């Protein structure tokens, strides 16, 4: 690693040392991991927390009176309080554990949507959305006779706020949008989008998957109705995520799945349901993932989310400068406010070919439509190459990417 100390003064070498996988080589080359937007790597503290549970005190939670069950329950529920504090929620019961943001969005679409949408209502999305924030709304809209509409983007990938204002009307019941685009990095003005939606009488759901690892989140300041994110993009385990919802909204929503832990009493005549958050958490959860998630949040808090954001903003600026100087590279998505990723295409080379050549150099990037086909169609391209940054990256990783892209240019001309 180089001696460069970016904005925020992070000791990147010390941070990298906490990630065992970053010591690996790929095709005999040092690993340059630039796919954090898909799934971040895990520090030893997260890995060790899961191992310790299985080796020392594993038991099912919330039900047992014996020590292991009590200890596991305490550790698991500690994470809920950490999540509450991390996103600025008023109550920890507003933080529902799910398998990930995808399940959280489906939960809202299938519970709130089925209970509240009717024929003629409109659900407003944007062209920036991941498929996980499109398909669930299409499913419930088809069932209820509602209509899904999408706010367009400007040439640089910014959301067209004038179009958004004009599309809001009395039929708009839900505005579901991304905080930071996973495909081209655009950061939306979430607070203003929410304010305008509320003025129109609509609720809001934010896909925060690409924001939670990189930005300071305060759901109360945003006045968000629902906010979804996943642990695995925050240096945490897979299979665990959060759907935040305002307490009054969650209380009014029917359960989504039935089973253990989400009930109060069960008879063959009638079942009554548990209080929040357990009403939406049927069955045995991802106990190890939940406990590991707490250590991921602790890892981020110890560094400081603001310092992480400053470090990644510097990396993005440097990468943008370097790639913009390459004649064969065209950046896709150049909005003034962006998340920690850069998306691009190259003349005469398909994104998959670029990704394969970079892999041979030990460089891991994502190539394709990034589960965001509408925005690719908007730019009339089949896909892009996406390099995304995490707290463990520095300028030497960008330099390696540039060297790798020059090899692509040598091959394809």
Q: Encoding tokens for residue 270?
A: 């009638």
Residue tagged 């370097």 (tokens): 322
Residue tagged 């049927």 (tokens): 282
- 106: part of which helix (H) or strand (E)? helix 101-116
* Residues belonging to the chain: 413
What's the CA gap between 148 and 129, in Å, rounded? 13
What's the CA gap between 124 and 172, in Å, rounded? 7
Question: Cβ distance 227 to 244 under 8 Å?
Answer: yes
Catalytic residues: 371
End-to-end CA distance of the chain: give it in Å, rounded: 31
Q: Encoding tokens for residue 7?
A: 């904005």
Question: Cβ distance 132 to 105 under 8 Å?
Answer: yes
In 282-394, alpha helices (H): 287-303, 305-324, 351-360, 373-378
What's the CA gap between 395 and 397, in Å, rounded? 5
Please state at what angle helix 287-303 crosses helix 67-87, rounded to 10 degrees. 40
Q: Encoding tokens for residue 147?
A: 């209509």
What's the CA gap between 30 and 376, in Å, rounded? 31
Which among 211, 202, 248, 196 has a CA at the least distance from the CA of 90? Answer: 248
Ramachandran area for residue 208 (φ above 0: left; ψ -120 to 50: alpha; else beta): alpha
List all residues 6 or more positions away from 235 whose beta carbon is below 8 Å from its beta carbon.
40, 41, 42, 43, 46, 213, 296, 299, 300, 390, 391
Which three-class secondary structure state does DSSP give residue 57?
helix
């Amino acid at each position: 690693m180089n001696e460069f100390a970016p904005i925020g003064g992070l000791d990147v070498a010390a941070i990298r040392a906490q990630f065992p996988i970053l010591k690996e080589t790929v095709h005999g080359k040092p690993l340059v991991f630039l796919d954090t937007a898909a799934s971040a790597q895990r520090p030893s503290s997260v890995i060790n927390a899961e191992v310790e549970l299985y080796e020392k005190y594993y038991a099912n939670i919330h039900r047992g009176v014996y020590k292991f069950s009590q200890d596991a329950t305490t550790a698991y529920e500690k994470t809920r309080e950490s999540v509450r504090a991390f996103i600025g929620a008023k109550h920890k019961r507003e933080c529902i554990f799910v398998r990930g943001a995808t399940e959280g969005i489906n939960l809202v679409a299938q519970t709130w949507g089925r209970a509240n949408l009717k024929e003629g209502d409109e659900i407003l999305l944007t062209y920036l959305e991941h498929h996980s924030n499109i398909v669930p709304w299409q499913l419930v809209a088809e069932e209820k006779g509602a209509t899904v509409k999408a706010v367009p983007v400007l040439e640089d990938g910014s959301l067209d706020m004038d179009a958004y204002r004009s599309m809001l009307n009395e039929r708009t019941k839900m505005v579901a949008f991304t905080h930071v685009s996973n495909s081209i990095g655009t950061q939306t003005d979430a607070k203003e989008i929410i304010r305008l939606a509320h003025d129109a009488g609509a609720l809001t759901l934010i896909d925060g998957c690409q924001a939670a690892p990189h930005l300071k989140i305060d759901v109360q300041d945003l006045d968000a109705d629902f906010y979804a994110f996943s642990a695995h993009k925050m240096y945490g385990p897979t299979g665990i995520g959060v759907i935040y919802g305002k307490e009054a909204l969650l209380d009014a929503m029917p359960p989504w799945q039935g089973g253990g832990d989400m009930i109060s009493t069960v008879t063959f005549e009638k079942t009554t349901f548990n209080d929040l958050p357990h009403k939406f958490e049927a069955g045995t959860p991802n106990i190890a993932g939940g406990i590991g998630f707490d250590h991921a949040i602790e890892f981020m808090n110890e560094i400081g989310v603001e310092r992480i954001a400053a470090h990644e903003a510097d990396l993005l600026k440097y990468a943008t400068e370097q790639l913009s100087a390459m004649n064969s590279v065209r950046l896709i998505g150049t909005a003034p406010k962006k998340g920690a990723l850069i998306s691009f295409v190259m003349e005469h080379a398909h994104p998959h070919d670029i990704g394969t050549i970079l892999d041979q150099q030990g460089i891991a990037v994502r190539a394709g439509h990034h589960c965001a086909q509408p925005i690719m169609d908007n730019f009339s391209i089949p896909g892009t190459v996406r390099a995304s940054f995490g707290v463990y990256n520095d300028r030497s990783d960008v330099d390696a990417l540039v060297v790798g892209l020059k090899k692509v240019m040598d091959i394809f001309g």
